[in-house]
Amino acid sequence: MKRRLNILMAAAVPATALLVPAAASAITRDSAPAAAKPAAICRTVPVSAPSGTRIVSINAVARAAGDYTFPQTPGLPPVPPITAVPAWCDINVVVTHPGAADTVNIKISLPQDRKNWNGRFQATGGSAYSAGDVSELSVPLIAAVKGGFVGGATDAGVGAKGATDASWGLKPDGTINKGLLTNFASRSVHDLAVIGKSVTAGFYKRAASYSYFTGCSTGGRQGYAEAQNHPTDFDGILANAPAIEWNRFEIATLWSQAVYNEEKVAPSQCELAAFNTAAVAACDTIDGVKDGVIDNPQACKWDARKLVGEKVVCEGKELTISKQLATAVNKIWAGPVTTSGKRLWYGQNKGSSFAFIANPGQPFAVPDQWAKYFVTRNPSFDATKLTYSSFAKLFHSATRQFDGIIGDRDPNLSKFAKAGGKLLTWHGQSDQLIPTQGTVDYRKRVNATLGGSKRVDNFYRVFLLPGVDHCGTALFSTGGLVQPGADLNALINWVEKGEAPAYLPTTDGNVHHS
């Protein structure tokens, strides 16, 4: 990968703090300073809400200055401590939407001393089926306060069931809870934007100078939904690895189960890793640099069948790669198709790990829950029984039912552009959970709708990071991660100074926008 050495200044809020799943943000009383005694400066304020949203209650809780550490959750990246956090005020707003029978929790965290506020409001997004972290002491909101922002988050009314639990999607009578799905899809972040800016203005007696949204995965999808549906809510949106076209791509990531069934193979992760190792070896130097990373996976034409007959040692046993397994791997890389061969969605890129998304008989929880509680409305649905034919039917069913609710695929961002909004996205080329080409396809459709790449570059830029896994997960990333805070810093400079980012600095050099 050809790189330049210029490095941007780090932003105020660490990127890692923004990307931690909500489930990892709970902390113990012993790990944080005790709540401060209620102070005159920490108080409730009058709050405005969007039409159709009714405020149920408002309360304020003073939080003490200090250092905050967090328990580690097995299987998730470690949550770094956040030190020297100034005292802040949590204003908790509960809202409902008449007819939806919902209870939505919104938390706004504001530095108590105005001198610790940078004049900006920052809404934060969620992860998987969590719309955001509104826990008692929320990692992304504490990080926002540390960085000088007013931070905001919403739970969309789906509560704290967990990022991989979508059981809230079904009512007791077996019908879809459209009220909560509408919240999760887009309504909740619009509420957060309006209420968050209202609370900020009431607390400091002046409006925020700029408003931002930051998120990855579900958070990235929320950002795109805002740009499409509520184009004046935010001045800048940082939406990484966006889970756009949710109804399509979630089903697409169950494709491996159908492939394994039809090709009659059940490979171990060790066997699958052999294919990625061979693909990287074959395509590493396409960009002229040998660095153990496929710079442009779309240019890698290596065929998995070249490994047929090769020996691999897994758990002390020597195995021979079969033609059937090679065929299966090629099909997973190519992505789902109909029984007649028509593309339905994109596959994962060569070089990306199979660890979560392609385990025989173990479908990844997020798409599995989507199929159970939404598409089929059958909690007993078994994705491990999928065939090519039943997969195509499931995909088309998801498209028909949910395009209008959580499709997030409208390429006409003209209102967002006219409002002066800026949309910045990076997506890892080795993202195993959300196929990178879905983001690329969306950007191409925006180009076609709004007059070409040069015009779109004025307000929307995408950076593809070679070798980087989902939301920069270090465990499976082999390429350079975005320098902490550099993406948000770049967005702020773009919004406030008109300095459009030509590149993002990573731990392995600079990556230029696509």
Catalytic residues: 217, 431, 470
Cα–Cα nearest to 169, from 435, 441, 381: 381
For residue 91, CA distances in Å to 42, 67, 201, 208 come to 8, 21, 13, 16
CB of 284 within 8 A of CB of 292?
A: yes
Structure letter (DSSP) for residue 373: I
Q: What angle in degrees, to the nearest 10, is found between the helix axes of 218-229 and 188-204? A: 80
CB of 22 within 8 A of CB of 125?
A: no
- Measured distance CA(410)–CA(474) in Å, rounded: 32
Give the H/E segment covering residue 510.
strand 509-512
For residue 165, CA distances in Å to 110, 127, 259, 377, 471 come to 30, 11, 25, 14, 20
CB neighbour list of residue 29: distance below 8 Å, 6 or more residues apart? none
- Measured distance CA(205)–CA(479) in Å, rounded: 45
- Measured distance CA(208)–CA(226) in Å, rounded: 18
- Measured distance CA(122)–CA(193) in Å, rounded: 9
For residue 125, CA distances in Å to 6, 265, 327 come to 30, 38, 38
CB of 344 within 8 A of CB of 336?
A: yes
Structure letter (DSSP) for residue 20: S
The DSSP string of 142-203 is HHHHHTT-EEEEE-TT-TTS-TT--GGGB-TTSSB-HHHHHIIIIIHHHHHHHHHHHHHHHH
Give the H/E segment covering residue 140.
helix 139-146
- Measured distance CA(88)–CA(136) in Å, rounded: 13
- Measured distance CA(294)–CA(274) in Å, rounded: 15
Q: What angle in degrees, to the nearest 10, is found between the helix axes of 255-263 and 323-334? A: 160
CB neighbour list of residue 132: distance below 8 Å, 6 or more residues apart? 22, 124, 125, 126, 140, 153, 154, 155, 156, 188, 192, 219
Task: Tell me the three state secondary structure of residue 381.
Answer: coil
The DSSP string of 420-481 is T-EEEEEEETT-SSS-HHHHHHHHHHHHHHHT-HHHHTTTEEEEEETT--GGG-GGG--SPP
